[in-house]
C-alpha cells in the first residue's frame, strides 16, 4: 500500500542505516581478526538484494545480528550451513521445545548473551591506550557509544557523525600559517619553528597553510598570514593614509605667502624626502625585515571555495598596493581550477595574461623568480 510510504519512510531510512552500519562493523571486526578484507560496497549490494524479495512478504529486514554472529563465531561456524541449522533449531524450539523453556528466567538468557559478547565488551579495556593515542577520536567513540546505549542506535549514529564533522571543522579552524626555511644541503623547505639550521631569504618570506581555505576559516587564514609575516597591509595602508593626511595638513599650516618660489620648491623637496623616508621607516619598523615578496606554499591546501579564492585575491591585492609581490607554489589541480574559475589572475588589455598566470611547481622556482625581480639580490642567511 503506497499510502503507507510517508508514515514509514523515516523509520525505513533509519533501519537501513543502522542495518548497514552493524553489518559492516561486524564484517570488518571479524575480517581483522581472521586476516581477510571486506568491501563495503559489496556488503551494501548484498543487503539490498537480500531485501528485495522479502520486501513483498511479511519478513523482517535482512541484516547482521550482533549476538547471533558472535555466538556463531565463538563456536567455530564458517559457512552458510550454520544459518540453515540455526533456522531448523529455532523452528524446533518454537514448535516443540518452547513449553520446556517457559519457566526459564531472563537472567539466564542474559548470561548466555554476555558470555558471547565478552569479545566486544573487552574493547572497553582499550580506552586508556586509545586516549593516549588520540583524545579526540576516543571522545567521539565514547559519545557515540553512550548515546547509542542510553538513547537509541539511530540517534547514536547521528550524534557520532555530527561530532566527527564538528571535530574536523574545529581542526581546520586551528590551522596556522607556518614560515618555512630552506635546508642547507638541498632545496627542501620546512617549518622554521620545528627544525634548526634552516636558511631564509632576505626580502623573501615563504609560508605554508596546512588546511583547505573555505568560508569558515578564510578570515583566520588572512589574520594568521599577516601575523606570521609581521606586516598587516590593511592596517599599514590606514597608517599611511593618516600619515599623508597629517603631512598635508601640516604643509597647509606651515605655508607662508611671503616666501619666494625657490624656498617653496626647496621646502617641498624636503617634505617629500622626509615623507618617503618616514614611509620606508614605518614599513621597516612594522616588520622585522624588509620584505619585497611573499611565496605561499599551497601543497597542503586540498581545495578552495569562492570565499577562499576571494581571500587569496585580497591578500594579493593588499600586498601589491604596498609594493610586495605574492606568488603561489605547488598548487594541485583542484586549487588551480578554483583559482582560474574564481578570477584570481588579473587579465590586462593587450596581454594574454601569461606572466600574471605563472604557476610554480616548486618553492625554489618561486623564490628564484621573485629574487630575480629584486634589483638588490642578497644571499641566504641562516636561521
Q: How far apart are CA 162 and CA 156, in angstroms?
A: 10
CATH for the stretch 177-243+287-373: 3.30.750.24
> Which are the contacts of 231, defined by CB distance < 8 A and separation ≥ 6?
283, 286, 287, 291, 322, 324
Distances in Å between the alpha carbon of 312 and those of 294, 307, 328? 12, 9, 10
What does each of the 383 residues of the chain score in pLDDT, given as a tens digit?
A: 788 888 888 888 888 888 888 888 888 888 888 888 888 888 888 888 888 888 888 888 888 877 778 778 878 888 888 888 888 988 888 888 878 777 778 888 788 778 777 777 777 888 888 898 888 888 888 998 888 888 887 788 888 888 888 888 887 777 888 888 888 777 788 888 888 878 888 888 889 888 888 888 888 888 888 888 888 887 877 787 787 777 777 766 655 454 444 443 444 444 443 444 444 444 444 444 577 888 888 888 888 888 889 988 888 888 888 888 888 988 888 888 888 888 887 665 555 555 555 778 888 888 888 888 766 555 455 55
Domain boundaries, the chain: 110-174, 177-243+287-373
Please state, in angstroms and as integers, the Cα–Cα distance from residue 126 to each residue in 105, 142, 160, 225, following that order. Answer: 33, 12, 19, 40
pTM, rounded to two decimals: 0.62
Residue of 163, 162, 160 whose CA lies nearest to 18 = 160
Amino acid at each position: 500500500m503506497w499510502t503507507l510510504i510517508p508514515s514509514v519512510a523515516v523509520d525505513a531510512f533509519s533501519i537501513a542505516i543502522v542495518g548497514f552500519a552493524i553489518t559492516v562493523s561486524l564484517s570488518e571486526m571479524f575480517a581483522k581478526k581472521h586476516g581477510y578484507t571486506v568491501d563495503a560496497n559489496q556488503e551494501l549490494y548484498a543487503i539490498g538484494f537480500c531485501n528485495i524479495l522479502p520486501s513483498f512478504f511479511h519478513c523482517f529486514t535482512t541484516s547482521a545480528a550482533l549476538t547471533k554472529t558472535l555466538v556463531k563465531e565463538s563456536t567455530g561456524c564458517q559457512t552458510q550451513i550454520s544459518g540453515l541449522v540455526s533456522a531448523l533449531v529455532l523452528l524446533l524450539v518454537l514448535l516443540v521445545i518452547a513449553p520446556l523453556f517457559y519457566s526459564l528466567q531472563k537472567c539466564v538468557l542474559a548470561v548466555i548473551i554476555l558470555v558471547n559478547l565478552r569479545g566486544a565488551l573487552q574493547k572497553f579495556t582499550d580506552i586508556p591506550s586509545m586516549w593516549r593515542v588520540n583524545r579526540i577520536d576516543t571522545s567521539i567513540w565514547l559519545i557515540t557509544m553512550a548515546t547509542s546505549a542510553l538513547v537509541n542506535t539511530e540517534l547514536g549514529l547521528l550524534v557520532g557523525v555530527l561530532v566527527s564533522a564538528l571535530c574536523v571543522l574545529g581542526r581546520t579552524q586551528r590551522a596556522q600559517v607556518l614560515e618555512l626555511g630552506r635546508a642547507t644541503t638541498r632545496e627542501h623547505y620546512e617549518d622554521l619553528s620545528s627544525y634548526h639550521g634552516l636558511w631564509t631569504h632576505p626580502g623573501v618570506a615563504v609560508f605554508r597553510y596546512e588546511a583547505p581555505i573555505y568560508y569558515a576559516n578564510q578570515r583566520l587564514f588572512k589574520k594568521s598570514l599577516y601575523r606570521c609575516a609581521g606586516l598587516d597591509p590593511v592596517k599599514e595602508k590606514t597608517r599611511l593614509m593618516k600619515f599623508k593626511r597629517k603631512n598635508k595638513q601640516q604643509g597647509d599650516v606651515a605655508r607662508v605667502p611671503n616666501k619666494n618660489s625657490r624656498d617653496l620648491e626647496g621646502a617641498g623637496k624636503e617634505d617629500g624626502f622626509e615623507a618617503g623616508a618616514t614611509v620606508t621607516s614605518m614599513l621597516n619598523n612594522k616588520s622585522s625585515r624588509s620584505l619585497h615578496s611573499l611565496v605561499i606554499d599551497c601543497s597542503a591546501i586540498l581545495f578552495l571555495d569562492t570565499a577562499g579564492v576571494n581571500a587569496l585575491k585580497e591578500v594579493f591585492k593588499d600586498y601589491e598596493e604596498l609594493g610586495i609581490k605574492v606568488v603561489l607554489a605547488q598548487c594541485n589541480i583542484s586549487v588551480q581550477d578554483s583559482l582560474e574559475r574564481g578570477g584570481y589572475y588579473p587579465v590586462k588589455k593587450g596581454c594574454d595574461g601569461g606572466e600574471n598566470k605563472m604557476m610554480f611547481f616548486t618553492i625554489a622556482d618561486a623564490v628564484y623568480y621573485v629574487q630575480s625581480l629584486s634589483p638588490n639580490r642578497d644571499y641566504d642567511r641562516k636561521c
